[in-house]
Structures are given as structure tokens and as C-alpha cells.
Structure 1
Amino acid sequence: MRSAYITIAMILFLTACSSPQILISTPSVSAADSTFAKPTVVPAQDITLLLPAVVYGVSPQGDQLSEADDACGVLNLLYSAVYDRLERRFKLMPSARDASPKTARLKLTIVDVVTISIGGPTIVMADAEFEQPGQPTAHYRALREGSLKWSEITADSTECSMIDAVVDALALDITTWTLTQSFAESP
């Protein structure tokens, strides 16, 4: 089973590295979350998942992020990208009012957004918390970075030109991690 997780991780790594636009992928997991549990026989489609709106959090430097720090609209882009990837795998609920005690929750927090200039780096870092009844909360921090090659810069290029590719790659990291957490057995 461990070799299957290693194979999946290698495929994701090679996929990320093969994209000419995405330069770095540095997802990190705390030591407590780094071991993979055995998968259960319950398919992910049987899990109801609450996906509340993405929020701004505190950056690693201690600064509270806000809409003023997000000129490219990462908040909405990340929510849409994660929702689109998970809707085929789970019964998704965007609102807590219909949630039950058996509903799993995926909370997303943007903790860093950097869009310096055209051709400069575009960086997005997000924290994810996966809460599933009967299991400890799993935490995940994902970081993606990208930049345009000088040859790709046109008159229409902006500091947000890379944001779609970076957010899409970040959403892939988060949803892949969420799927591994959703199959973890209770301790």
C-alpha cells in the first residue's frame, strides 16, 4: 500500500515539474500528518463534505492578509478550483446550515499571496484543515510558485497572468491531499 502512495506522489511531482509554467511545488505536512493511514472500503462519494468559503489568514511573517493583499482574486479562484475538483468525488455542501454531525469539513485559508510584477514570481500559499468525525483534524500547507518566461510576456500580460496556473496547481495539491485524508481509518 505504501508503494501506491509513493507512486501517486511521484506522478504528482513529475506532473508538476513537467509544466513549463509552474516552477516550484513545496507542499508541507506536519510530522503528525506525514504518515498515511490504510484506506477504508467506504468510497469518497459516500462522504458529505462541507466546503465553506476560503478566508484570509496570517502570513508566515505574522501579517494578517486581506482583500487589499489579493489583487488577483485568489480567494474566489481557489474556492472554485477546489470545489470543481472535489464535486465529482464528494457530496459537497457550501453552507453549514445543512451540515450534520457526520459531515466532514475542509477549511481553506490563504496565508500568502505574492504578485510582484509582470515576469516576476507569483506565489500562493494556503492552509487546509480536514475535519472528519471520529478522527483528529489533519493540517496541510501547500505552496505554489510560477512566473512567465520573458518570451511569453505580451502587451496583455499583467502581474496576475500566472495566477490561474498557480492556483490550479495549488488546488490539485489540496484536493489530492484531501482525498488521501478522506480514506484514512479512525484510530
Structure 2
Amino acid sequence: MTIRKHILVIAALATAVLTACGSRGSKVAEAEPPEPTANARNAVILPAISYGKTTKGAQLTKADDACDVPASLNQAIQDQLLTPYEFAVPSPSTNVTGAPTLRIEITDILANAGGLYGGPKIVQLHGVLDRPGAAPAHFTAQRQMFMYFGIPRSTCSMVGVVTYALGGDIAKWLQKPVDAAKLGEL
């Protein structure tokens, strides 16, 4: 009989605790601060990434890029931004007036079809960071992928690995932008 009473007491206490937790949960949710929004101190303006010219003067176009490097690079940068930059916004607005602007152009792409068997995948970039009251800071960057041991990779997934690494390089550089920096594996 006493074991049965103990079980009933424990069940009643558990119900009371769960009920109390549920009623407090709604008050805590209401008290949480709102999500931060982009402003001039925590954002970088990142316009659409463009195709530039190679060192030999050839103009790159979307036809040279079956893997949409601008889209994957843009996402990689946004995913890896570090404090103080929490946001990458595509265009200036009143919220971000005075935020630095990062312009990036792709200066070379080598992404032959055939995935792992199609040879190396290489992406080269040139970027300029314009900051109010400071001289522009330039960088060049390159990453490549020759081999991948493990699961066979398609051409675009290999290029995605390259652009993700470049996004990390750029996010780190934004912490302390040094003019004429060489990022990646140059």
C-alpha cells in the first residue's frame, strides 16, 4: 500500500512541476529580446557577385560557370560571417547607411565536367571593401580542389567545397581587412 501511495504522490508532483514549467514558458518567451536587425554596425553590403576578366583579359560570363559560383559564394560568405558582421545585405537601405560595401568579382573559374575525374576545380576572386572614412581595401583569393578521397563528387559539389572555403577566407578577412591581402591558397 505505501508503494502505491508513493507512486501517486510522485505522479502528482510531476504533474505540478510540468504544469508550472508550461505556465512559465510562455512568460519567458514574451520576455526574450527581439531578433537583431541589420544596421550600419553589424552589416556589410554585399551586392551581386559579378564575373570579371581573367589575367589574360578574357571576360568571364555565366556561360563559363555551370555551377553558379556567385550564388554559392554569396551563401558561403553569409553563412560564415563573424562578429561584428552578422548580416550581408544585397543593397544599401536606410537601416544600413554607413555600412561597408564589399564588391567581389570572379576573375577565373576552372570547373571542367567529370567531377573528380575532370581535373582540378579552381575559383579566383578579386574583392574591394569600401568603408566610410577609410581607404578601400583590396584582396585576391584563390582556392582549388584537386582530389577528394571518399565519396565521389560531382563537379558542382567540388566547386561548392571551394566556394565555401573562399567564403570562410573572406569572412575572416573582414575581421581585419588588410589592403592587398592574398586569401586562400594563392
TM-score range normalised by the length of the shorter chain: 0.5 to 0.7
Q: Which consecutive residues of structure 1, in runs of 5 or more, have no partner in the other structure?
A: 1-44, 183-187
Q: Which consecutive residues of structure 2, in runs of 5 or more, have no partner in the other structure?
A: 1-39, 179-186
Contact 1:143 1:170 in 2 (8 A): yes
Contact 1:148 1:162 in 2 (8 A): no
Q: What do the CA deviations read for 1:32-89 (whole angstroms, capped 9, x no partner)?
A: xxxxxxxxxxxxx834421111111111111111000001111100011112222764
- Provide the TM-score with structure 1 as the length reference: 0.64
Contact 2:82 2:172 in 1 (8 A): no
Aligned CA-pair RMSD: 2.2
Aligned length: 134
Q: CA deviation at 1:114?
A: 0.4
The structure that has the greater radius of gyration is: 2
Q: Say which structure, 1 or 2, has more relative contact order (CA 8 Å, 6+ apart).
A: 1
Contact 2:121 2:145 in 1 (8 A): yes
- Provide the TM-score with structure 2 as the length reference: 0.64
**In the alignment, what sits opposite 2:183?**
none
Matches within 5 A, 1:24-63: 46-63=41-58
Runs of 4 or more above 3 Å deviation: 151-154
SS across alignment from 2:47: coil
Corresponding letter in the other structure for 1:139: H
Contact 1:118 1:153 in 2 (8 A): no
Matches within 5 A, 1:18-167: 46-86=41-81, 89-90=84-85, 91-98=87-94, 99-100=96-97, 102-116=98-112, 117-119=114-116, 120-149=119-148, 152=150, 154=152, 157-167=153-163
**In the alignment, what sits opposite 1:30?**
none
Percent identity at matched positions?
Answer: 32
Q: CA deviation at 1:96?
A: 2.5
